[in-house]
Amino acid sequence: MMDVAIFTAVAVAIAAQVYISPIQNVSTVKVLLIYFASALSLFVYLISLSLGTSYFNVIARYVALNATFLITAVSLTVIRRIYLSPLSKFPGPKFAAATNLWKAKEYSQGHHARTIISLHRKYNSDIVRTGPYEVSIKNVDAVEKIYKGRYPRGAFYEAGAMYGDANLNCQGDYNIHGPWRRIW
């Protein structure tokens, strides 16, 4: 029989997925801050309930609840990204569809561009999925038709702004970027 606390951890993980899934680029920093604040609250709550019992039992319970939550949340994220995403119809590596760690590995080894070209050849497709929310488009005419001359800037541009940088490279807003670019 499933423990009520374990069932609650699974239910909270499912609720978190339902809440986060419509958001395109969820800030990893915000998710981690919320998770650690919640984990700390859970730990304090378990300590307050366990007056008179051993701290080993409290820590074991804490680890079990956190593991249950994390395994459920990560599993649901991977399933959602690989099979339920609007991009799931495009060919590409499943690991790339599940996480950006694939892209980080490719960049760190210095052959991301060659890998993308080989993926287009392997799947014999003008469009290949290269991330949870990204595709590579080989056909130049398709890019122009999709974006109509206005190419959106992704979360990469927000990375520098996260630390308070205000420069041309970090600016994703066309209304601000355009005048700065002309001056530059």
72-127 pLDDT, tens digit per residue, is 888 988 998 899 888 999 999 999 999 888 888 888 888 888 999 999 999 999 89
Please state the rounded mean pLDDT for residues 128-143.
86
Summarize the chain as % helix, strand, coil (round to 5): 70, 5, 25
Mean pLDDT of all residues in 52-68: 83
* 28-37, long-range: CB < 8 A, 24+ apart: 29/162
Q: Which pLDDT score, from 0 to 100, does residue 1 have?
A: 41
Name the E strands within the chain.
127-131, 134-137
Percent share of the chain, pLDDT over 90: 15
